[in-house]
Chains A and B, each alone.
Chain A
Amino acid sequence: MWSREVGPYVRFMSNSALLTSSASASAPAVALCDVRKVHGRGEGEVVALDGVSAELSPGSFSAIMGPSGSGKSTLLNIAAGLDRPTSGSVALRGTGLAQLSERRLTILRRERIGFVFQSFNLLPSLTVAQNIALPLRLDGRRPRRSAVREIAARVGLEKRLHHRPSQLSGGQQQRVAIAPALITRPEVVFADEPTGALDTQTGHGVLCLLREVVDEDGHTVVMVTHDPVAAAYADRVILLADGRVAGTLDAPSADEVAKRLARLGA
C-alpha cells in the first residue's frame, strides 16, 4: 500500500534522473572492471566477488541487491575505496583507486565520497553538529556554522544540533548519519542498508533524502539494500548472486524487483 502510494513519485523522479545522466558525457562516476575479492586464505577461502564489472553514470541512483552472501556489501566497500579488490580495477571518475596509497585513498574518500552506514555509526562522544562537520574537520577545514545548519535543516534536525547521538531516536540518528555524507558535496554517496533498521515511515524519509541528493544536487548515489521497496527509489538495480552480476533492472518497480529477487532465491 505504501509502495503504491509513492510509486508514481519514484517513477517521475527516476525519469528526470535518467535525463540528467544521459546528458552527462564525461567518464562514469564509478567503474568496476572484472573485480574479484577473496576473503581468507587456504581452506577458509571465500570468494565474495567473482569477476564483477559495472559502470555507474554520474547523477544516477543505483541499488545493489541480492541474497545474503551474494557479495553486495563487499562490492560497495570496494567501489567506495574502503577495501581493495584481490584483482580487477576500480575507478572513480577515471581515477584508478588501486595505485593510491592508503593516505591518498583516504583523502580521495574524504573529498569525493560520502557514506551512509547500515547502523547509524555516529561518534557517540560528538554532538550532532560535530558529527556532521567531522569530514570537514578531518580535512583540516573549519566547518562553517551556516553550512552545518543548512545540512541539518535538510535532514530535519536543525533543532537537535547540540544533542549527542544517544539522545536521538533511531530514525533521527539515521538522518543525522546522512548529513556528514553531504557536507563535503561528494561526487558519489555510498549507502549501506540505510533503511535496514528503520520503520517504513522513517525509511521513506531517508530514501527521499537520497533521491533529492541525486535530483537536486546532481550527485551519484549507490545503495545496497535487500528491500525491494527501497530499491524502487533507484534509477537502476544491479542484482548480484554468488559474487556475480545476475542482471540489471532500469527504472524498477518494487514488484518487479521482488519477483527477480525471488527467482535468485533470496
Chain B
Amino acid sequence: MLRLAVLSALGRFGTFTGALVALFAAAVLSMGWGMQLESVLRTNAPVERYASATAVVTGQQKAALGEQLSLAAAGPARTVMVVGIARPRHLVSQQTVIFLTDAEATRLAGHSGQVDAIGVLAVPGFDVSRLQAAAGGAQVLTGGARGAAEYPELERTRTVLIPVTATFGGLAMFIAMFVVASTLGLSIQQREREIALLRAVAATPGQIRRMIAWEAAIVALAGSAAGIWPGIVLGRALAHALVRHAIAPPNEVLNYDWLPAAAAIGGGVTTALLAVLASGRRAARVPPTLALTDAAAEPRLLGPGRIVGGLIALADAVPLFAVSTTTSDPQTAVATSEINAIFLVVAAAFFGPIVAYAVARLLAPALTALSPVGGFLAAANLGAATRRFSSASTPLVLTIALSCTLFFGSTTIEHATSQQQRVALTGQLAITSAGPGLPAAALADVRATPGVRSAVALTSTTLGPSLGVPDDTPSAQILTGGQGGGLDVSVIAGSLSALHGDAIALGRHRADAAHARVDDGVAIMLGDGTPAQATVVAIYSRDLAFGDALLAPELAAGHQTTPLLNEPAGAGSAVPRTPGERQRLARHRERRQRRAEQLARAVLRRDDLHLHVDRRSQHADHDRAPARSRASAPAAQRCHHAPGPVDGALGGHPDHHHRPRHRAGDHGHRAATAQPRAHGRLPSIRASGWFAAILGVSALLALVALSVPTRRALRTQPVEAIGIRE
C-alpha cells in the first residue's frame, strides 16, 4: 500500500500543491518559533560575574539589566575616576562590570539595606543543603543556574516565548490542517472513480484508508522537511527581532538541536493524518460499482457528520460570542473573540456545502449577466459541485477570518489604548528617553524650568502575582506628583492627591478582580518580589493607558526594577483648554517644537546626553504608536508605553534616521526626546486599508491557486480528456 501511495502521490503531485504549501509554511513557522523556545528552555544564562562563587543566594527574583548603568540613576551623572582595570579570570563578554566602593554601590542601587544576590565561596565538600537551610526564603543557585541571578530577564523571556511559540505553531498547524483536509478531500473527490476501481479490483476499505493516510504522510513529510531550512533562517531572523524589540535579553543566543525540526515534521505529519481522517473514511465508503457506471451525482448537501460537527462548533461559538460582546475587560474580549472566530470558521467549514450552495444561488444571476457563457457555466458548476467548491473556499474563509480577528483585535486594543493615552496625557509636552530611562532628578529639573506649571513622572514596573491575579504579573506605574496637572487617569472613586506613603490606585478591572474598594487594604507583591500592604486611595478607569495599578513613589521606593524614570515626564505647561487656543497652538507648531527643544535642553543640560527632539507632526506621532507596538505586540501589551527607540530626526538632519541603541556600559540615557503632545481629533484607526489588504491578498492567492490548475487543465487536448477518465 505504501508503494501504491508513493506512486499515487508522485503521479499527481499537482493536486497536493495546496497541502504541500500549507504544511511547508506550518513547518517554517513551527521551526522558527520552536528554535526560540528550545533556546530559552535550554539556555542557562552565562555565569560571568558569579563565576568564582560556588553558590549564589538571591533574595530577589528580579534585578535590573546592567546595573552598571545606574551610575547616573539617582542624580546627574557623576564623573568617576578610574583607579584600576580588572582582568577577569573568567570570560565576561555579555556585560560591563564596574567596581565601586560599597557605599557608592549601595547608593546607586537604590535599594537601601537590601542586596540582590550574595556570592558564596565554599570549601571543597561543602553541603549546599546547609546553605539552603540558612537562606530562608531565598533561592540558592549553583552550577549553571547561577547565571539566573545575573540574567533574571531570561525567566521573563520564557514566560513570553512559551505561549507565543505555542500560538504560532498551533495556529499554523491548525490552518494547515484545514488546507490539507480541503485539498486532500478535493483530490479524493476528483478520483472517486479510481478509488472505486481499486475497491472493485479488490482493495479492502482498510487498504483505501491506509493509502489515503500514506499519501497524506508523504506530502506532509515532503512539505515539512522542505520547511526546515527556511525555518532555521526565520528562526535566526526572529532571534534578532526578539532581541531588538527587547522581548529576549540581549545576551540571548540561539541554542537549538534537532528537537524543533523533529517537532515541526512530526507536527506536520500528525496534522496531515488528522486532516485526512474524515476524507479517508469517505474514500473507503466509495462503492465499487462507481467504477462501472458513469460518475454519480454528488452526494447530499450535508452528511450527518457535517451537521453534528457544525452544530457543536456553533454551540461553542455562541456563549463565547456572548462573553466577548458583554465583557468589560478588553483582554478577555480579545481572547474570547479569537477563539470564537476559530469556532465560527470550523462551523463554516462543516456547513461549507450549504454556504457554497447559497453563494452560488445568490451569485448566479450576476455571473450570468456579467458573462453569458463563462459566468453561466461557472454558476451552474458552483451550484452542482458544492462540496468541491466549499473545499476550495474553506481555506480562504479561514485565512480572512483569522487574520481579521487577530489583526483587528489587536488594532482595536491599540486604538483604545492610544485613545486613552491621548485623552489621559493632558500635558502639552512629554519627555521620553530613547535609552532605558531618565534620571529621577529630571523631574525636578523639569519643574524648575521657567514656564512649566506642573509635571508628573511615570515609571513602568510590574507587580508580582497579587491583586486577584494568581499567576500573572499586573502592569503598574509609579506615579510621582500625581495630583499635578498633565495627567487625567479618569478617577471614578477616591483621589490621586492621596497617592503617598503606602497608597495605591487601582484600575477598574483590577479593583473588580481583587474585590477592592477605596480605603481597603490590599496585599500586593512588589516588582522585586517583596510582599507589601497598600491602601487603595483611588480607582480609575483608564487602565488601558496606565496599567492595573498606580503606586505611590514611597511604596515602590527601593523595590522597583530600575530607579530610572522610564516613562514620559508629562510636563504640563500652560495646558490649552479652549478650542481656539488649540487651533492657535496647532498653527504655531514650529514655535512649539522650538520650545520643546529648549525645554529638553534645559532639562538635560549635560554634555553626555544627546538631544533628540521629535520634529514630526502630531499625526505622525500618533500613527507611530500602534506601529511600534505592533512590531513587538507580545511584550508591548504588558507595558503600553515601553520606552522604545524613537525613529526621530536628529536636530538639523531631518532625514537622518538614527536608532540610538542602548549598549551595555553606556550611560543609560544616551538620548532623550521631547515630544509635543496636543489634543486634537483622533486619527481614526486605518482598519479599512488593512481590511482591503487582507481581502486583496486572499483574492490574489486564490487567483494564483486557481490559475495554475486551470492552465494545466487547458493543456490537456480535448481528445485526451475524452479518452482517459480521471
- A contact residues vs B (CB 8 Å cutoff): 73, 76-77, 82-83, 102-103, 106-107, 109-111, 113, 115, 117-121, 123-126, 130, 134-135, 137-139, 165-166, 170, 180, 192
Chain B residues, CB < 8 A from A180: 201
| B201 touching A134, Cβ below 8 Å | yes
Q: Which residue of B lies closest to A110 (CB)?
A: B202
Q: Which of B3, B199, B201, B203 has the most CB of A within 10 A?
A: B201
Stretch from B286-294, B382-390, B628-636 that touches the partner: B286-294
Chain A residues, CB < 8 A from B203: 106, 138
Q: Which applies to chain A's interface (DSSP): helix, strand, loop or mixed?
A: helix
| B204 touching A82, Cβ below 8 Å | no
| A109 touching B197, Cβ below 8 Å | no
Minimum CB–CB distance from A214 to chain B (whole Å) comes to 21
Q: Which of B157-203 contact A (CB under 8 A)?
A: 193-194, 197-203
Q: Is B127 an interface residue (CB 8 A)?
A: no
Q: Which of B202, B203, B204, B724 has the most CB of A within 10 A?
A: B202
Q: Which residue of B lies closest to A140 (CB)?
A: B1
Q: Which residue of A lies closest to B285 (CB)?
A: A102
Known: A103-B205, A106-B205, A138-B202. A124 touches B11 (CB 8 A): yes
| A135 touching B204, Cβ below 8 Å | no
| A102 touching B11, Cβ below 8 Å | no
Chain B residues, CB < 8 A from A117: 197, 200, 291-292
Chain B residues, CB < 8 A from A130: 7
| A166 touching B720, Cβ below 8 Å | yes
Known: A138-B198, A165-B724. A102 touches B287 (CB 8 A): no
A218 vs B207: C-alpha distance when bound (angstroms): 31
Q: Is B206 an interface residue (CB 8 A)?
A: yes
| A192 touching B292, Cβ below 8 Å | yes
| A137 touching B724, Cβ below 8 Å | no
Size bracket of the B interface: 20 to 34
| A77 touching B4, Cβ below 8 Å | no
| B292 touching A73, Cβ below 8 Å | yes
Q: In the complex, how many residue pairs between chain A and chain B have their CB atoms under 8 Å apart?
A: 81
A83 vs B199: C-alpha distance when bound (angstroms): 11
| B197 touching A166, Cβ below 8 Å | no
| A82 touching B7, Cβ below 8 Å | no
6 closest residue pairs by CB, A with B? A125-B11, A110-B202, A106-B204, A82-B288, A109-B202, A77-B289
Chain B residues, CB < 8 A from A134: 4, 198, 201
Q: Which residue of A lies closest to B7 (CB)?
A: A125
| B3 touching A137, Cβ below 8 Å | yes
| A119 touching B3, Cβ below 8 Å | no
Minimum CB–CB distance from B460 to chain A (whole Å) comes to 62
Chain A residues, CB < 8 A from B588: none
Chain A residues, CB < 8 A from B198: 123, 134, 138
A97 vs B292: C-alpha distance when bound (angstroms): 20
Among A125, A135, A165, which residue has its beta carbon within 8 angstroms of that of B10?
A125
| B292 touching A109, Cβ below 8 Å | no
A–B pairs, 21, beta carbons within 8 Å: A76-B292, A83-B287, A83-B288, A102-B205, A103-B206, A106-B204, A107-B202, A109-B200, A110-B202, A115-B201, A117-B292, A121-B197, A123-B194, A123-B198, A124-B11, A124-B194, A124-B726, A125-B8, A130-B7, A138-B198, A139-B202
Q: Which residue of A lies closest to B204 (CB)?
A: A106
Q: Is B725 an interface residue (CB 8 A)?
A: yes
A117 vs B289: C-alpha distance when bound (angstroms): 11
A73 vs B293: C-alpha distance when bound (angstroms): 9
Question: What would 6 more interface pairs be, CB under 8 Å, given A76-B292, A77-B292?
Answer: A77-B289, A82-B292, A107-B202, A117-B200, A123-B194, A165-B724
Among B7, B193, B201, which residue has its beta carbon within 8 angstroms of that of A135?
B201
A99 vs B289: C-alpha distance when bound (angstroms): 19
Q: Which of B2-37 contact A (CB under 8 A)?
A: 3-4, 7-8, 10-12
Q: Which residue of B lies closest to A106 (CB)?
A: B204
| A118 touching B292, Cβ below 8 Å | yes
A165 vs B7: C-alpha distance when bound (angstroms): 14
Minimum CB–CB distance from A229 to chain B (whole Å) comes to 22
Q: Which residue of B lies closest to A124 (CB)?
A: B726
Q: Is B470 an interface residue (CB 8 A)?
A: no
| B199 touching A123, Cβ below 8 Å | no
Q: Is B124 an interface residue (CB 8 A)?
A: no
A125 vs B206: C-alpha distance when bound (angstroms): 21
Chain B residues, CB < 8 A from A139: 202
A77 vs B10: C-alpha distance when bound (angstroms): 32
| A83 touching B201, Cβ below 8 Å | no
Q: Which of B26-82 contact A (CB under 8 A)?
A: none
Q: Is B113 an interface residue (CB 8 A)?
A: no
Q: Is B723 an interface residue (CB 8 A)?
A: yes
Chain A residues, CB < 8 A from B207: 138
| B289 touching A119, Cβ below 8 Å | no
Among A83, A103, A120, which residue has its beta carbon within 8 angstroms of that of B289?
A83
| B204 touching A107, Cβ below 8 Å | yes
A115 vs B720: C-alpha distance when bound (angstroms): 24
Known: A103-B204, A106-B199, A109-B202. A125 touches B12 (CB 8 A): yes
| B202 touching A124, Cβ below 8 Å | no
Minimum CB–CB distance from B522 to chain A (whole Å) comes to 68
Minimum CB–CB distance from B195 to chain A (whole Å) comes to 10
Q: Which residue of A lies closest to B287 (CB)?
A: A83
Q: Which of B282-313 contact A (CB under 8 A)?
A: 287-289, 291-293
Minimum CB–CB distance from A204 to chain B (whole Å) comes to 21
Q: Which of A73, A106, A165 has the most CB of B within 10 A?
A: A106
| A138 touching B201, Cβ below 8 Å | yes
Chain A residues, CB < 8 A from B7: 125-126, 130
Chain B residues, CB < 8 A from A73: 292-293
Q: Which of A110, A118, A134, A138 has the most CB of B within 10 A?
A: A138
Q: Which of B197, B198, B204 has the most CB of A within 10 A?
A: B204
| B3 touching A82, Cβ below 8 Å | no
Q: Which of B243-300 contact A (CB under 8 A)?
A: 287-289, 291-293
Q: Which of B464-523 contact A (CB under 8 A)?
A: none
A115 vs B199: C-alpha distance when bound (angstroms): 11
A249 vs B98: C-alpha distance when bound (angstroms): 111
| A170 touching B723, Cβ below 8 Å | yes
Minimum CB–CB distance from B196 to chain A (whole Å) comes to 9
Chain A residues, CB < 8 A from B292: 73, 76-77, 82, 117-118, 192
A135 vs B200: C-alpha distance when bound (angstroms): 10
| A102 touching B197, Cβ below 8 Å | no
Chain B residues, CB < 8 A from A77: 289, 292
Chain B residues, CB < 8 A from A113: 202
| B200 touching A115, Cβ below 8 Å | yes
A138 vs B288: C-alpha distance when bound (angstroms): 15
Chain B residues, CB < 8 A from A76: 292
Chain A residues, CB < 8 A from B12: 125
A83 vs B292: C-alpha distance when bound (angstroms): 11
Chain B residues, CB < 8 A from A192: 292
Minimum CB–CB distance from B288 to chain A (whole Å) comes to 4
Q: Which residue of A lies closest to B8 (CB)?
A: A125
A126 vs B9: C-alpha distance when bound (angstroms): 11
| B197 touching A123, Cβ below 8 Å | yes
Q: Which residue of A lies closest to B195 (CB)?
A: A123
Chain B residues, CB < 8 A from A103: 204-206
Minimum CB–CB distance from A4 to chain B (whole Å) comes to 31
